[in-house]
Chains A and B, each alone.
Chain A
Amino acid sequence: MIYLDNSATTKPHKEVLNTFVQVNESFYANPSSIHEAGVESNALLDRARGQIAEILHTEEQFVLFTAGGTESNNFAIFGVPKANTHKGKHIITTEIEHPSIIEAVKSLQSEGYDIDYLKVDENGVISLQELEEKLRKETVLVSIMHVNNEMGAIQPIEEAAKLIHANSRAAFHVDAVQSFGKLPISFNGEAGPDIISISGHKIHGLKGSGIIAFRKKMNIIPLLLGGGQEKGLRSGTVAVPQAVALAKAARMATENMEQTTAKYRKWHNDLLEFLAGFGETIHLLSTKTGAAHIVSFSVKDLKGEILINALQKRGIIVSTSSACSSKQKKTSHVVEALELHSNYKKGVIRLSFGALNTDEDIIEFKKAFTEVMKELKGDKNQ
């Protein structure tokens, strides 16, 4: 099997799994317990937290472990506005966010919050001018994803951060689930985000583990209430094995980032060229300037599902635009936002690379794809 759906999820690294098992075997005590075993778990948890804090350039106390990207995103979207109603009820996000942002802001909208969705151009990138125009005195939160999960567009986080911090009192949340480990993302004073969400299973870590991290002390209301773990901001017994495994996955992802990204970029350029060879049968959603690990395109007048099945028969796993939206019948909101011609709306396919892919995988994909296209579209397009 050639697995090219790493933006849906990745296979955990062996080292990460080993860590997970070892911590479960040796340090399973509750880190909140005051007995020796608990103190030991807690010391290990602190080390994991410290490692993440170092990678993100923040303080240890501002790193919280969650159950994944969705929780981290929900936490930011609900937590910040609800703690800052005295400043206003205006939120800015984009029309191509992950559903864990979109659905959360919609829920706030029904409670009377005022939401602005930034438009994106044909490359999937927001306009900084529009952002500046939409910022108001009452804006309490701006949430912009770093890399889009369906087609890989990269948003100008640094410029956006400077604008937001210079022109408003809003907190700036960045959903870095797709970018962490592939692009540099960290706190950087006024030129960076205030809140970052990260997910473990997108970086060869484990499902069910994530991080929300803050640049500084935040005014934020917790999503989960209970025993007051994580400084009262995230109740629930802290999953030490998941946290340590995540710290390890994050270290491995960032340590080798330059090499892996260079590899992805090579494949990315190669495939964009290869796909351009199909002429107007194929419309590219990804661009040369987008994230290196995602190649997204659409085949004219063809359902994505059919392509997936045909490729799968040849042992190649790819996805329609996103795993989340692929089971729903309707066209994804990202595809809608890109205003694709209706001929191309149904046939969106996404390839996403991971650390375990090799050059051969890409060669195999090209071979299989050429065959499939011949089979489905006939020779006339070649």
Chain B
Amino acid sequence: MIWKEILIRYGELSTKGRNKKDFINRLRANIRHSFNNIAPLEIATERDRMHIKIESEEQFEVLMKKLPTVFGIQSFSPVAVCDKELDEMKKLSLIIMEQFKGQELTFKVEVRRSDKSFPLESHEIQREVGAHVLRNNPNVSVQVKKPDVELRIEVRQDAIYMMAQIIQGAGGMPVGSNGKSLLMLSGGIDSPVAGYLLMKRGVRLEAIHFFSPPYTSDNSLEKVKALANELTKFGANIRLHVIPFTEIQVLIKDRVPSNTIMTTTRRMMMRIADLVREEIGALGIVTGESLGQVASQTLESLTAINDVSNTPILRPLIAFDKLEIIDIAEQIGTYETSIQPFEDCCTIFTPANPKTKPKVDKVNYYESFTEFDELIERAVRNREVYKFPETQKAKDKFEGLL
């Protein structure tokens, strides 16, 4: 295999002044973590790029497949290496250009000569290698401004490094570089997308889910676990807190007018989430709410829900259309899981006409007749916590069948 290295460009990180070092270290740690199945990786960092050394074909394949999902990477390139001889460089240039074989395209050679003692000047290398590529690839022509392909040659101390392909990364910032928040994960289409968007901005997530057996089935919990697990592919561990919610939900149904059930349920969820948030040291709460999508997501409803907490509530989807959200869900691979038809706790006990414009003081008044605090504390205490990605794969019950 000719590939000896993958070169990673940071993108947005490059502009971040003093915190840059932290960001780079964070990115390196995230990459190490995401690829611990092919560990150990040798990663060297520079001001504006990072080099991962490739030692086997397997490492290369896994990296090429998964690097596009790691946040904080603007782009990356597989890099080939050869001896510091002109003939070797020419040979390698053809092998690298092989992947564009048959395509009509423009190209140029770009040389970075960090070993100043190398006998050939940059423009000499450019001319020699460029001419060699042109002679052997009739479909290729030279264009200096905005070529389709830039064959990049770096003359370093130890060897010549060469690359041509630039693969788009996921952009954003390394997960964990912007603190931690708690994601309210319902199992629907929106909440995983909200989580994804915050992760993209460098936020580390834990997730919380409200479980109301027997009104919601084990399947719906499995679905939420699957979603949490899917989010981990963007480069971080996620802990999922599952709150036993049946008792509270049934009590709410008994104690408040039916058109207020939904608002009160949301407020209780928020209170529980806030307690969990405090315990795990997260700074914000993330939800998948989108303005006006359902009765609980009008500005009035959001106001009534916010009333129970002073914590910043991050709603990245607030101005998104449903179709835009679905698009992202499909891209990140959570859509198919989200649309599995299991009841979640938001769809049970929903009255025919929930209030779309609840008044905070009225809701407070209705709730004032019931002692919820103790139930809430108990629910938080009795929560179950799952860790993703699952370190030990559950035994494959289909083993041997396929």
Asked if A47 and B219 make an inter-chain contact with CB atoms under 8 angstroms apart, the answer reads no
- Smallest CB-CB separation from A247: which chain B residue? B402
Q: Which of A333-381 contact B (CB under 8 A)?
A: none
Give complex CA distance A43, B401 in Å. Answer: 13
Q: Is A39 an interface residue (CB 8 A)?
A: yes
Residue pair A47, B402 in contact (C-beta under 8 Å) = yes
B217, B218, B397, B402: which contacts A248 (Cβ < 8 A)? B402
Given A34-B341, A34-B342, also A251-B219 (CB < 8 A)? no
CA distance A43 to B398 in the complex (A): 9
- Give the number of chain A interface residues (Cβ < 8 Å): 16
Task: Map CB proximity to A onto B208-221 as digits: 1 under 8 Å, 0 otherwise.
Answer: 00000000011100
Q: Which of B379-402 contact A (CB under 8 A)?
A: 397-398, 400-402
Q: Which residues of B contact A48 (CB under 8 A)?
A: 402
Tell me the residues in window 161-197 of chain B with beta carbons closer than 8 Å to chain A beta carbons: none
- Give the Cβ gap from B105 to chain A, nearest Cβ, in Å: 19
Q: Are A44 and B218 interface neighbours, CB within 8 A?
A: no
User: Chain A contacts of B398 at CB under 8 A?
Assistant: 43-44, 47
For residue B397, which residue of chain A has the nearest CB?
A: A40
Expressed in whole angstroms, the minimum distance between the Cβ of B344 and any Cβ of chain A is: 14
- Measured between beta carbons, the chain A residues less than 8 angstroms from B217 are 36
Min CB distance B333 to A, Å, is 12
Complex interface: chain A residues within 8 A of B219 (CB): 34, 36, 39
Contact B402 A251 (CB under 8 A): yes
Known: A34-B219, A36-B218. A248 touches B401 (CB 8 A): yes
Q: Which residues of A contact B397 (CB under 8 A)?
A: 40
Tell me if A19 and B401 are in contact (CB < 8 A): yes
Chain B residue nearest to A244 in the complex (CB): B401
Expressed in whole angstroms, the minimum distance between the Cβ of A339 and any Cβ of chain B is 40
- Chain A residue nearest to B342 in the complex (CB): A34
Instruction: Give chain B's interface residue range (CB within 8 Å of chain A).
Output: 10 to 19
Complex interface bits, B199-236 against A, C-beta within 8 A gives 1, otherwise 0: 00000000000000000011100100000000000000
Within 8 A of A (CB), among B352-402: 397-398, 400-402
Q: Which residues of B contact A248 (CB under 8 A)?
A: 401-402
* Interface check A23, CB cutoff 8 A: yes
Select B401's contact among A23, A36, A39, beta carbons within 8 Å: A23
Decide if the interface of chain B is mainly helix, strand, loop or mixed.
loop
Residues on A with beta carbons closer than 8 Å to the beta carbon of B400 = 19, 22
Residues of B within 8 A of A186 (CB): none
CB B133 to nearest CB in A, in angstroms, measures 26
- Bound-state CA distance A48–B402 (Å) is 7
Expressed in whole angstroms, the minimum distance between the Cβ of B160 and any Cβ of chain A is: 34
**CA A178 to CA B401, docked complex, whole Å:** 25
Q: Tell me which residues from 1 to 29 in chain A have a Cβ below 8 Å from any Cβ of chain B.
A: 19, 22-23
| Chain A, Cβ-Cβ closest to B223 | A39
A51 within 8 A of B: yes
Measured between beta carbons, the chain B residues less than 8 angstroms from A22 are 400-401
| Chain B residues near A251 (CB-CB < 8 A) | 402
What CA separation (Å) do A197 and B49 show in the bound complex?
49
Shortest Cβ gap from A32 to chain B (Å)? 10
Chain B CB within 10 A, most for which of A23, A39, A43, A51? A39
Q: Which of B222, B341, B342, B398 has the most A CB atoms < 10 Å from its CB?
A: B398
Query: How far apart are the CA atoms of A22 and B398 in the complex, in Å?
Result: 10
**Chain A nearest CB, measured from B103 CB (Å):** 14
In the bound complex, CA of A22 to CA of B402 (Å): 11
CA distance A36 to B341 in the complex (A): 13
Chain B residues near A34 (CB-CB < 8 A)? 219, 341-342
Residue of B nearest to A43 (CB): B398
Closest B residue to A251 by beta carbon equals: B402
Set of chain B residues within 8 Å of A40, measured between Cβ atoms = 397
A29 to chain B, nearest CB (A): 13
Residue among B222, B400, B402 with the highest chain A CB neighbour number at 10 A: B402
Chain B residue nearest to A245 (CB atoms) is: B401
Q: For chain A residues 24-67, which have a beta carbon within 8 Å of chain B?
A: 34, 36, 39-40, 43-44, 47-48, 51
Question: Mind listing 7 A-B residue pairs with CB under 8 Å?
Answer: A19-B400, A19-B401, A22-B400, A23-B401, A34-B342, A36-B217, A36-B218
Besides A23-B401, A34-B341, A247-B402, 10 new A-B residue pairs in contact (Cβ under 8 A), listed by A number: A19-B400, A19-B401, A22-B401, A36-B219, A39-B219, A40-B397, A43-B398, A44-B401, A47-B402, A244-B401
A-B residue pairs, 8 tightest by C-beta: A19-B401, A44-B398, A247-B402, A51-B402, A244-B401, A248-B402, A39-B219, A47-B398
Residues of A within 8 A of B (CB): 19, 22-23, 34, 36, 39-40, 43-44, 47-48, 51, 244, 247-248, 251
